[in-house]
Amino acid sequence: MLAHRRWESLDRAEQSWLRAKYHFAVSADGNPEHAALGPLIVWNDDEIAVGSGFPMHGHRDMEIITYVRQGSLGHRDTLGSDGTIHAGNVQVMSAGTGIRHTEFNTGDVPLKVYQIWLLPRKAGGEPAWDTKPFPKSDRSGRFVVLASGFADDEGALPVRANARVLGAMLKAGESVRHELNSVRRAYLAVASGRIEVNGEPVGPLDGVAITNVAAAQISALEDSELVMVDAG
């Protein structure tokens, strides 16, 4: 089953410094068709203005993955972590028993990021933060695991959830197949480009929830950047 979440159907919020679209409902009055998918409960598409960002705030018992689509993201937290994440790269934060952090646009263009939240396997644990570059050339024509809750995914940033975050770069005409089964669920977002999933067209910035299928056959109609969570 494919449940298409088109860009125009997503809930939204707008402030002077932030434009946000929500692939998953974030409040009781959100789109009821955009429910959580297993441990995947939040997928925000945020655009942050130059010179702005999220002030210091806290999280606990959440796995937070940030995928930078455009620009550069600055991060500081109460662990003493201080980093800059550039387009195409990823950071992960295991909030555990509690962490406070700030995120902000360090570049000269609007910062565009996916903020993905996963429920951890269990509450608590020491908070942690990490980041890693993932060259887009390494993802050419295939999915690469960017963050994972499974030890056998070597090279991926670790998270404490039963899920994987993957990325792919497909040129027009290329296809990739992602194996699933009747109990696994996935959510795919088109960061740029146009694709088909099992024959269904999916446009730029759209998402699609994939459930109860053996595999997702993804074909690029034009050059495309894809991010997917296999929610186990």
Q: Do the strands 128-132 and 200-202 form a parallel or antiparallel pair, or are they unpaired? A: unpaired
Q: Buried b vs exposed e over 215-224: b needs ≥16 C-beta within 10 Å?
A: ebebbbeeeb
pLDDT at position 87 is: 94
pLDDT at position 174 is: 98
pLDDT at position 92 is: 98
Separation CA 126–CA 154 (nearest Å): 22
Q: What is the pLDDT of residues 148-181, one digit of tens each?
A: 999 999 999 999 999 999 999 999 999 999 999 8
Q: What is the pLDDT of residues 172-220, one digit of tens each?
A: 999 999 999 878 899 999 999 999 999 999 999 999 999 999 999 999 9
Question: Which CATH number characterizes residue 136's domain?
Answer: 2.60.120.10
Domains identified in the chain, total number = 1
Chain mean pLDDT for the chain: 96
Which positions ≥6 away from 15 have C-beta within 8 Å?
none
Separation CA 69–CA 60 (nearest Å): 25
Instruction: Kindly tell me if the per-residue pLDDT of 15 is higher than 90.
Output: yes
Instruction: Kindly tell me if the per-residue pLDDT of 232 is higher than 80.
Output: no
pLDDT at position 181 is: 82
Separation CA 141–CA 36 (nearest Å): 29
Separation CA 39–CA 172 (nearest Å): 32
pLDDT at position 29 is: 87
Sheet with strand 40-48: strands edge to edge:
11-14, 18-22, 40-48, 111-118, 63-70, 90-94, 128-132
Percent of the chain past pLDDT 90, that is, above it, reads 95
Is 7 in a helix, a strand, or coil? helix
Q: Predicted confidence band at 54 (pLDDT cuts at 50, 70, 90)?
A: very high
Give the DSSP per-residue string, 8-59. Answer: GGSEEEE-SSEEEEESS--STTS-TTS--BTTEEEEEEEEE-TT-EEEEEEE
Q: Which two tokens stand for residue 134?
A: 């993932």
**Mean of pLDDT values over 41-70:** 97
Strand pairing partners for 139? none
pLDDT at position 4 is: 97
- Asked if 105 and 97 touch (Cβ cutoff 8 Å), the reply is no
Can you give the residue range of the structural domain that contains 175? 2-230
